């Protein structure tokens, strides 16, 4: 949701946008990538460049982690900290940032929310990483986070008119559908409910009745590079 809304907003603001998808071999990527391709087809405009897909297999590193196997993924009753993926933002950014530097794109935008609870989503982390990236001879790059001061409902309001049915959040898909009971499905339901928007998602199972909204988090699965005016 967050990355798709960010892309829509950057296009709306007149930026030329180069979207990225990083394939790491995670359990939900087939469904997520297909949905992302549909979203890009629907929002296509002269400012939108073709999707760049980058490979970074992580099964050798993550091993039997639930994000690789799909087994025992954090469910709707788990704390948001349970969905942390080791060094996710670092791994997401490095290859996309280098692509940007090699192609003359000076800003890499990420849909990190202000409510993201993880250490690799802080200003300290992004400022330090930006400094490191700019120590290389490949050229200047800025890491921009237009949603860093926002929480989920504000981001959802930004995307209210966007085709959010073409987004995918689930970490334990069933038959190509959102499972309806994982941590991220619960967060997705809460996101639509938070602004009173009908949830267009087809879930494989109904919501668990015990879930209460615990606040929004976002572990960005893709980055969106804006070209032209700074984001
Ligand atoms: Zn799910």
Write out the chain's pLDDT in tens, 231 residues: 999 999 999 999 999 999 999 999 999 999 999 999 999 999 999 999 999 999 999 999 999 999 999 899 999 888 878 888 888 999 999 999 999 999 999 999 999 998 777 888 899 999 999 999 999 888 899 999 999 999 999 999 999 999 999 999 999 999 999 999 999 999 999 999 999 999 999 999 987 654 444 333 333 344 555 454 433
CA of 76 to the centre of ligand 1 (A): 9
For the chain, what is the radius of gyration of the CA atoms? 17
- Please state the separation of Cα 35 from the chain's center in Å: 13
Q: Match 């090699």 to its residue by tokens.
A: 102
CA of 204 to the centre of ligand 1 (A): 9
pLDDT of residue 120: 87
pLDDT of residue 159: 98
CA of 183 to the centre of ligand 1 (A): 7
Q: Match 């933002």 to its residue by tokens.
A: 89
CA of 30 to the centre of ligand 1 (A): 14
Look at residues 71, 108, 77 and name the one whose alpha carbon lies nearest to residue 93. 108
C-alpha to C-alpha distance for 78 and 75, rounded to whole angstroms? 5
**In sequence order, what are the beta bridge partners of 75?**
182
- What b-and-e string marks burial along 138-166, b requiring 16 or more CB atoms within 10 Å of the CB? eeebbbbbbbbebebbebbebbeebebeb
DSSP 8-state symbol, 55: E
CA of 62 to the centre of ligand 1 (A): 20
CA of 181 to the centre of ligand 1 (A): 5
- Please state the separation of Cα 74 from the chain's center in Å: 18
pTM of this prediction? 0.88
CA of 180 to the centre of ligand 1 (A): 5
pLDDT of residue 223: 54
DSSP 8-state symbol, 27: T
CA of 171 to the centre of ligand 1 (A): 5
Long-range contacts of 152-155 (CB under 8 A, 24+ apart): 152/2, 152/113, 152/115, 152/187, 152/190, 152/191, 152/194, 152/215, 152/216, 152/218, 153/191, 153/194, 153/195, 153/216, 155/1, 155/2, 155/5, 155/111, 155/113, 155/216
């Amino acid at each position: 949701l967050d990355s798709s809304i960010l892309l829509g907003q950057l296009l709306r603001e007149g930026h030329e946008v180069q979207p990225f998808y990083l394939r790491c071999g995670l359990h939900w990527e087939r469904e997520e990538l297909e949905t992302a391709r549909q979203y890009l087809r629907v929002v296509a405009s002269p400012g939108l460049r073709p999707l760049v897909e980058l490979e970074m297999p992580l099964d050798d590193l993550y091993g039997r982690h639930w994000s690789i196997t799909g087994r025992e993924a954090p469910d709707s009753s788990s704390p948001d900290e349970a969905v942390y993926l080791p060094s996710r933002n670092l791994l997401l950014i490095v290859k996309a940032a280098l692509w940007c530097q090699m192609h003359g794109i000076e800003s890499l935008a990420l849909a990190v929310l202000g409510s993201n609870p993880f250490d690799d989503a802080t200003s300290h982390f992004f400022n330090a990483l930006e400094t490191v990236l700019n120590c290389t001879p490949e050229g200047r790059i800025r890491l921009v986070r237009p949603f860093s001061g926002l929480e989920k409902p504000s981001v959802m309001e930004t995307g209210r008119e966007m085709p959010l049915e073409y987004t995918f959040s689930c970490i334990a898909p069933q038959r190509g559908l959102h499972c309806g009971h994982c941590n991220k499905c619960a967060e997705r339901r809460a996101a639509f409910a938070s602004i009173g928007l009908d949830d267009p998602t087809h879930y494989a199972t109904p919501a668990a009745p015990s879930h209460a909204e615990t606040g929004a988090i976002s572990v960005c699965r893709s980055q969106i590079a804006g070209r032209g005016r700074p984001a």
